[in-house]
């Protein structure tokens, strides 16, 4: 990444990306690849023959109380070395929990047993969690030899026991740690919709000077709510948010995450890459 432009422009890996890179070798500067995909299909590393890789992750459970297994940590270390990623992107969420913290209804047959909930979930936004995430971040930051960036999760409802907004939570976390951030603009838009605040105004209250990478993707409207959808083009507001963020932030990377479909329309991807480059070039 040191030899790439700042900000570099990349795409998240999907089934169409190798062929896309073959047809448009200069369209992007890097490919973002999930650790979990490499774990499942190591041949995906072959994309590194065409472009540098940024490693994304959803396995550390950095927002929870259960450390990831030594096996998982060892595999992440392996892929950090093989991809030569400049950092690890990780969700500000948890994927594992322990029954001991489930209260009086915890199953008696499994006290303290870790279990995987199957999806990254935002933790409660309160002071206890801020301190826990700060400890987890400091713990993992010493393990992999590259920085860990924390990504804002989409909030679909108010998490019980939360006493602060996500913006407040992230600001407090940045006061306690040196964490760099991944700002997912679609996730932020979803959270704004859930809590009925103005995304263009509220985004200015984030610690934008900590933003190292920006994510762009689409959203969907279902059952009266807004949902994350990496197979739909980004709505126009996402690019308005990008303009606003770039007035203060100086990210090293901007990633278009259209990785939920192996047939994402190539013309739309090229148009959005062009629009993103225009916005970057026009910032003051």
Domain extent for 104: 8-282
Is there a domain that residue 26 lies in? yes
pLDDT at 225: 82
pLDDT at 65: 86
pLDDT at 119: 60
Average pLDDT over residues 41-57: 97
Is there a domain that residue 254 lies in? yes
What percent of the chain is modeled with pLDDT above 70?
A: 90
Average pLDDT over residues 59-75: 91
Segment 70-122, tens digit of pLDDT: 999 999 999 999 999 999 999 999 776 565 554 555 455 445 555 555 567 88
Who's near 82: CB < 8 A, 6+ residues apart? 45
pLDDT at 106: 47
List the CATH number of the domain containing 112. 3.20.20.150
Is there a domain that residue 175 lies in? yes
Is there a domain that residue 2 lies in? no
pLDDT at 101: 52
Is there a domain that residue 234 lies in? yes
Is there a domain that residue 84 lies in? yes
CB 134 within 8 Å of CB 176: yes
For tokens 């992230």, name the residue. Answer: 170
How does the average pLDDT of the chain come out, rounded? 90
CA distance 85 to 269: 24
- What is the 8-class DSSP label of residue 153? P
pLDDT at 222: 81
Residue 30, judged by CB atoms within 10 A of its CB (0-12, 13-18, 19+), counts as buried
Is there a domain that residue 3 lies in? no
pLDDT at 174: 98
pLDDT at 226: 82
Segment 221-256, tens digit of pLDDT: 887 788 888 889 999 999 999 999 999 999 999 999
Who's near 146: CB < 8 A, 6+ residues apart? 80, 85, 86, 87, 88
| 218-222/225-229 β-pairing | antiparallel
CB 32 within 8 Å of CB 12: yes
CA distance 104 to 115: 17
Is there a domain that residue 1 lies in? no
CA distance 138 to 176: 10
Average pLDDT over residues 136-156: 95
Q: Which pLDDT band, with edges at 50, 70 and 90, does 263 fall under?
A: confident
Give the count of domains, the chain. 1
Segment 164-223, tens digit of pLDDT: 999 999 999 999 999 999 999 999 999 999 999 999 999 999 999 999 999 999 988 887
């Amino acid at each position: 990444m040191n030899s790439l432009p700042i900000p570099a422009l990349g795409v998240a890996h999907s089934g169409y990306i190798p062929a896309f890179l073959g047809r448009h070798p200069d369209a992007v500067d890097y490919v973002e690849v999930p650790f979990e995909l490499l774990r499942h299909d190591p041949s995906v590393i072959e994309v590194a023959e065409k472009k540098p890789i940024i490693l994304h992750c959803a396995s550390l459970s950095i927002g929870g109380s259960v450390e990831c297994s030594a096996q998982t940590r060892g595999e992440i270390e392996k892929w950090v070395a093989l991809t030569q990623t400049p950092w690890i992107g990780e969700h500000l969420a948890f994927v594992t929990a322990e029954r001991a913290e489930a209260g009086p209804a915890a199953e008696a047959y499994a006290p303290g047993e870790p279990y995987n909930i199957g999806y990254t979930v935002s933790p409660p936004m309160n002071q206890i969690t801020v301190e826990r995430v700060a400890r987890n971040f400091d713990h993992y930051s010493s393990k992999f030899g590259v920085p860990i960036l924390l990504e804002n999760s989409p909030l679909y409802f108010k998490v019980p026991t939360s006493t602060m907004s996500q913006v407040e939570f992230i600001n407090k976390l940045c006061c306690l740690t040196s964490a760099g951030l991944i700002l997912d603009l679609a996730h932020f838009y979803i959270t704004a919709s859930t809590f009925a605040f103005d995304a263009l105004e509220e985004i200015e209250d984030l610690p934008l000077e900590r933003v190292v990478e920006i994510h762009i993707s689409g959203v969907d409207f279902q059952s009266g709510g807004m949902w994350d959808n990496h197979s739909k083009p980004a709505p126009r507001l996402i690019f308005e948010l990008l303009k606003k963020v770039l007035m203060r932030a100086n990210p090293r990377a901007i990633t278009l995450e259209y990785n939920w479909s192996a047939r994402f329309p190539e013309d739309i991807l090229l148009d959005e890459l062009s629009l993103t480059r225009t916005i970057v070039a026009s910032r003051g």
